[in-house]
Amino acid sequence: MLIIPAIDLKDGQCVRLEQGRMASATVFSAKPGEAAAQWAAKGAKRLHVVDLNGAIAGKPRNEAAVKEIVAAVDSDVPIQLGGGIRDLETIERYLDGGVSYVIIGTAAVKNPGFLHEACDAFPGHIMVGLDAKDGKVATDGWSKLTKHDVIDLAKRFEDYGVEAVIYTDIGRDGMMTGINVEATVRLAQALTMPVIASGGLNHLDDIRRLCEVEPEGITGCIAGRAIYEGKLDFAEALKVAAGDA
């Protein structure tokens, strides 16, 4: 089970939000590259980076910070990046710049044809971010709730060749109230592609519960506010995920 530190970018800084609200941003580092290097040094095998401004604007807004992050970590620590990615040119630029996986969220929901094109053009490098509340998918930086059922939509995307689905329970994100394991398992059971859990990771028991259901197809978990505030010890989390604790 991968434990993936999140680096959320707002105005060039590393922040955390509560339930996606930009006004609730807490700045954890003014130097995203240093934050990335810190997690890599502590044993992270992958980093999850989100351009929050880009997610709302619909185009990249923190490319300079992304470049800092790529430069700060070894190439053997893959970076998965989302936020404001709406065209093939942007995907190509990020991949050429050292990003390993590009996450398509809002654009996948609003324009499935674009997602299909991206998977064809960049096989093995495209993930889908599905953010949901009460089983319904949200878009535009979580500001709009759609009528799309998250499982139905994910199953449609599966045939496109998506590398993985990152599933976020936006009712829990940044709130440290615990991963919604049941909803994540339901999604994973309905799919053959891997699912990465996100939203609400709070303590080691969350990781233990996810490890128990890993055979269902849950391959990783994104860690945010809890590891930044020290409520969850990252080193211990890695041990639990590896079955050593």
Distance CA(215)–CA(219), nearest Å, equals 8
* Predicted local distance difference test score (pLDDT) of residue 28: 92
Stated as kind and residue range, the H or E segment containing 135 is none
pLDDT per residue over 112-145, tens digit each? 999 999 999 999 999 999 988 888 898 876 678 8
- Helix, strand, coil in percent for the chain, rounding step 5: 40, 30, 35
Low-confidence ranges of the chain (pLDDT < 50): none
Q: How far is CA 30 from the centre of its chain?
A: 21
Q: Which residues, other chains included, contact 99 with Cβ-Cβ below 8 Å and sequence gap of 6+?
A: 49, 66, 70, 79, 80, 81
* Predicted local distance difference test score (pLDDT) of residue 169: 80
Tokens of 241: 């995920």
Buried b (16+ CB within 10 A) or exposed e, 33-63: bebbbbbbeeebebbbbbbbbbbbeeebbbb
C-alpha angle with apex 188: 81 to 19, nearest 5 degrees? 50
* Predicted local distance difference test score (pLDDT) of residue 141: 63
Q: Which residues, other chains included, contact 27 with Cβ-Cβ below 8 Å and sequence gap of 6+?
A: 13, 14, 15
Q: How many Cβ atoms from other residues are within 10 Å of residue 28's Cβ? A: 18
3-state secondary structure of 34: helix
Tokens of 204: 């080691």
Residue-level length of the chain = 245
Catalogue the active-site residues: 8, 131
Tokens of 134: 């009460």
The pTM score is 0.93
* Residue 100 falls in which region: left (phi positive, over 0), alpha (psi -120 to 50) or beta: alpha
Distances (CA, A) of 172 to 125, 147, 167, 185: 27, 20, 12, 16
Q: How many Cβ atoms from other residues are within 10 Å of residue 172's Cβ? A: 20
CB 170 within 8 Å of CB 133: yes
Burial class (CB in 10 A: 0-12, 13-18, 19+), 181: middle
